[in-house]
Structure 1
Amino acid sequence: RREDSLVDIARKSGFFPKVPETLFAGVPAAPASGVPKSNDCDPLKGETPVDAHDLFRLYNAATPSEVRHAVGMTMDQWMSSRERLNRRSAAFVLRRQDVAIGSLRTSRVFSKGWLEASAHPDHQHRMPLMVRFGLLQLRSCRLTYCMLPDYQMDLRRYLVDSGFQDVSCYITLVKSMTVKVADDIRLRAAVPII
């Protein structure tokens, strides 16, 4: 949590705060009609392993450069950091002209649901479509949670408009772990053996 005394201890140890996040909670209201549609996009489809590269590109486009610079994840690290899907979770991709412009993940644990969504900065107006679709997947849950980085303003607005409330605030702490590259590089020449 942001106000936790451990944050100050971590700062003194070389960590610095980078990504403020807010936990939202709400009751998923049943949409007036069935699955929401968008005229100029493909419908949300289940995520497949083939989507990984496009989703990493989406992550890089949707995440501010200062956060990407601080976290500095490669595609392999990003893939490892994502929670594995199980039988009570699902992942979806929103595409437009075969380009991933949105990502949605839902999961259920007993009567609680979790929602995670991101959209390309040029397609933030798709966020309501994705969130409605996600809440439709979680309609049997009594309570749904969504952990939001503070830079996802469109999703925040839509959740608040949908009756979600902020429950708690958190902060991601980062520590630089770079190592200086050796300057002394010796070149080897191929010497023929006679």
Structure 2
Amino acid sequence: SYTSGTLVTTGGGSTGITLTTGGLCCGGPGAMTDAAAKGSALGQDNKFYDVFGQDMTTGNPMGGAINPIGSANGNFTMSLNNLSAGTYTLTMLVGRGNNYGAGNTSSFSLDGAGISNISASLDDYSTGSGATLNGATVTGNTHTGDWMLITYTFDVAADGTRLDIQSQGGTGNINALALTSVPEPATASLGLLGLGVLLMRRRRA
């Protein structure tokens, strides 16, 4: 298990959030690549670039994947620590680039104290994954180039909350995560109002 330093936003700003892997790092052969993710069951391609903006093997000599190999019953928990109160989406790409544990299925879900209103969508998946969505749990084969792209939406009740990402069974790697804070409608409305006032002042000037 490894806990990261403080994560930053895409713009480089500090978030105060850290990541605890709770699993083992996978070498390059186990990580998904852009080429492996071309076999979309929904006719989509370029999942790494479209969703995450880069090839997920970039910047990590070990391949950039975490898997549950070596943990009891193939189950493990990855955590995002110190979330602030609010609503979030979490997009996750899971899958394997090599033939380890073929025939096994993996399921993924979220939980945690202070986490509520969890929903999930199965955005895309490989034709061989047999991916299914049951409530907020996504299950499928994640081996030999098979993969699933999942987006969760959830609420955090208070600052300092920990979100647990659960993986059960099989040997499905978690290759990439993208966490986004969803602005509250009232905040967005105030932003628009402020812009309107600014425009009015400029016109009067």
Higher strand share: 2
TM-score of the pair, normalised by structure 2:
0.28
Higher helix share: 1
TM-score of the pair, normalised by structure 1:
0.29
